[in-house]
Chain A
Amino acid sequence: MASTIRVRATSNGDITEVQALVQHPMDSGFVKDAKGEIIPPHFIQQLTFEYDGKAVFVADWGAAVSKDPYVKFSFKGGKKGDDLKIGWVDNKGATDTTTAKIQ
């Protein structure tokens, strides 16, 4: 299976704009399935973007974030061709990381 994270980071020399899409069910724990049984909570707790060994964006998420979340932000600095590291951890301890080149 391919990575659960899609990232696009573009720099205009001054500011880097980042867009990311993460594939995750983000079950809140309040929804029941067709049999009437509760779907246990399963959501991303922390999403981190690291540039040059420093976190540039950290999101502490909970059950209220929707399925397959999308994030867009920008930060000062970031050079074309440099790496941006992205990772998430969910409440079941699962993780995924990926590295994207800034364009």
Chain B
Amino acid sequence: MIMRVAISFVSAALALTALAAPPAIAADTPNPAADATAFQKFFTNKFPKLKPEDFVNGPYSMNEDLHRQWEEKEQFPPYEFALETGKEMFATPFKNGKTYGDCFPDKGIGIRQNYPYFDDKEGKVITLELALNRCREANGEPPFSYVKDEMASLTAYMAFTSRGKPFDIKIPDDPRALEAYQKGKEYFYTRRGQLNFSCATCHVQAPGERIRAEILAPALGILNAMPIYRSEWSGMGTISRRFTTCNSQIRGVPLSPQDEEYRDLEYYLSYVSNGLPISGPGARP
């Protein structure tokens, strides 16, 4: 790997000297805006019939039969219970009288599209799930599990109040933010696990194709629908749950939820879906 990087670096350097191109477009300089355009173009070319906002509905946009089933299901969505619980939890004050709304801009309503963001004081990526648990701890409450139940209910409600708003992830002019983005991108494209899959193997190379009985969702817009009710889980799951189970399904060892690498991954994956509307909470087979 190091060898290969070294070689490509040398050849890039050679190409640079040969063409005397400006260093801004050198292969090694991250260029998130160009990445996002290329990423979205890849998917719109692969599925020319789909509108950009269709991608947030994952597999339902890839298969007619599933789409019909989904339309029926959406009349009576399985995430309704979680949504209601989330709404109640969100409005219930902590023991000290404060609420979740006090921890967030705009009282936490309609802000899902701005998460994750880069916190310049801390120099790290802050996801919504992390912010929620920090809010709890700051108010003297024990944190929730990141993967399901309460956390999924809360994020379901917050996503619901933001439905239709386009993802608006910003990468500030800060080398640390760019580094986080780049690390997330690397995580996304790095193969791992006994099956030697990267995130991209399934969600870039093969969306719309079957993996056993399931239809793979495209990486574009995959986070817009989070959290999701998965029939397979018979329950709700958060982004953390999606990342960790993906890792175990490829027979890798998952990191702990909200590990820095996962946060960077979420940052990258959300950024390249910028402009696509929030559709969460979602339901998936």
Contact = CB atoms under 8 A, between A and B. Distances in A.
B234 interface: yes
A95 interface: no
Interface stretch (A40-48, A63-71, A76-84): A63-71
Interface of B: 75-76, 78, 80-81, 84, 234-235
Nearest to B231: A66
Given A19-B75, A70-B76, A2 B84 contact: yes
Nearest to B75: A19
B113 to A, nearest CB: 28
Contacts of B80: 6, 21
21 contacts: A2-B84, A6-B76, A6-B80, A6-B81, A8-B75, A8-B76, A19-B75, A19-B76, A21-B76, A21-B78, A21-B80, A21-B81, A23-B81, A66-B234, A67-B234, A67-B235, A68-B78, A68-B81, A68-B234, A70-B76, A70-B78
B46 to A, nearest CB: 34
Contacts of B81: 6, 21, 23, 68
Given A21-B81, A67-B234, 6 more contacts: A19-B76, A21-B76, A21-B78, A21-B80, A68-B234, A70-B76
Nearest to B234: A67
A89 B199 CA distance: 45
A11 to B, nearest CB: 16
A68 B75 CA distance: 16
Interface string A1-30: 010001010000000000101010000000
Nearest to B72: A72
A102 B67 CA distance: 28
Contacts of B234: 66-68
A70 B75 CA distance: 12
Contacts of A8: 75-76
Nearest to A26: B234
Contacts of B76: 6, 8, 19, 21, 70
Contacts of B84: 2
Contacts of A2: 84
Can you list the 8 inter-chain pairs with the closest CB atoms, starting with the nearest?
A67-B234, A19-B76, A23-B81, A21-B76, A6-B80, A2-B84, A66-B234, A8-B76
Contacts of A67: 234-235
Nearest to A71: B76
Interface in A58-103: 66-68, 70
A38 B84 CA distance: 30
Nearest to B81: A23
Nearest to A21: B76
Nearest to B73: A70
A49 B97 CA distance: 42
B245 to A, nearest CB: 16
